[in-house]
Structure 1
Amino acid sequence: MTSPLHPSHPQLAVSAAIFRDRKVLLVRRARSPARGFYSLPGGRVEFGETLHTALQREVKEETGLKVEIVGLAGWREVVPAVPGGGHYLIMSFATRWIAGEVVLNDELDDHKWLEPDELGGLKITGGLEEVIASARRLLGPK
């Protein structure tokens, strides 16, 4: 038997590579999965939501920011490492900061605006550097 906490199928999620003044926003997860890892803001797509609507909602909920979505920067699949773990398909988008200052919700416990080549030494989620590089290419030289 499955429960809402342990679905029997992959969950669709979105994340945002948010750029502001050539720096990207990284947030540190305060809960599992990925507790203690820096990643991009984002979360699950709710039934009936478009990917863009879900992305705008998740960014607002987690960080308080408003962003402009430029395009799909990549995707990754996270499969359960242990029984009962989450299985996610994460669609990551290149975005530009439009307004607001970072105000984290209780799912996150830290944030950093960093140059994309300054990620060394941080505990980051798998595939993060590739998604950020792809997003930076989509956004161009601004």
Structure 2
Amino acid sequence: MGREPRVGVGVLIFRGENVLVGRRLGAHGRGEFALPGGHLEFGESWEDCAKREVLEETGLQLSNLRFETAVNSVFGEAAHYVTIFMRGDADEAAEARVLEPDKCEEWIWVPWHDIPRPIFFPLQLLQESDYEPIKWKIDP
């Protein structure tokens, strides 16, 4: 990998005040809790990336996708990511499933301010910012 920043897309999916997070299993952020998401592919829209990654990882179909915010994450000398945070709605009756067991151990719904530690760096930066998901909530 070159020294250029990469683009990641993290997806905020809420049920009430709970957000969906999973425990990462890959080499980058292993054991840390993160949102579903992944790398933006060449020519892909942020919305399409969010839908694709969430479907591949959890089986959830998203609707009402919208941009929330972005963070600049520099992981020391290891990596540099710009992470785009999208927000989407999933059917209340649908359950998140672990569809990529080599990448994620489990999916859990937790209160926004009580995401278990350790937290994946881009999500940590989002939590430490002035971002408050509840004030941005759009009722269907």
Q: Same fold (TM over 0.5)?
A: yes
Question: Unpaired runs of 5+ in structure 1?
Answer: 1-5
Relative distance call for 1:65 and 1:25 in structure 2 (3 A) is same
Tell me how far 1:80 sits from its aligned partner: 3.5
TM-score (norm 1): 0.81
Map of 1:134 onto structure 2: 132
Q: Distance in 2 between matches of 1:45 and 1:65?
A: 18
Question: Unpaired runs of 5+ in structure 2?
Answer: none
Map of 1:10 onto structure 2: 5
1:71 aligns with 2:69: no
Relative distance call for 1:108 and 1:12 in structure 2 (3 A) is same
Superposition pairs of residues 105-120 of structure 1, within 5 angstroms: 105=100, 106-119=102-115
Relative distance call for 1:138 and 1:81 in structure 2 (3 A) is same
Map of 1:51 onto structure 2: 46
Relative distance call for 1:7 and 1:103 in structure 2 (3 A) is farther
Relative distance call for 1:132 and 1:72 in structure 2 (3 A) is farther
Map of 2:97 onto structure 1: 103
Tell me how far 1:32 sits from its aligned partner: 2.3
2:24 aligns with one of 24, 29, 33:
29
Does structure 1 retain, via aligned residues, the 8 Å contact 2:11–2:88? yes
**Identity %, equivalent residues:** 28
Deviations 1:94-140 (A, max 9, x none): 22222632122121112210122323x52112224257943332224
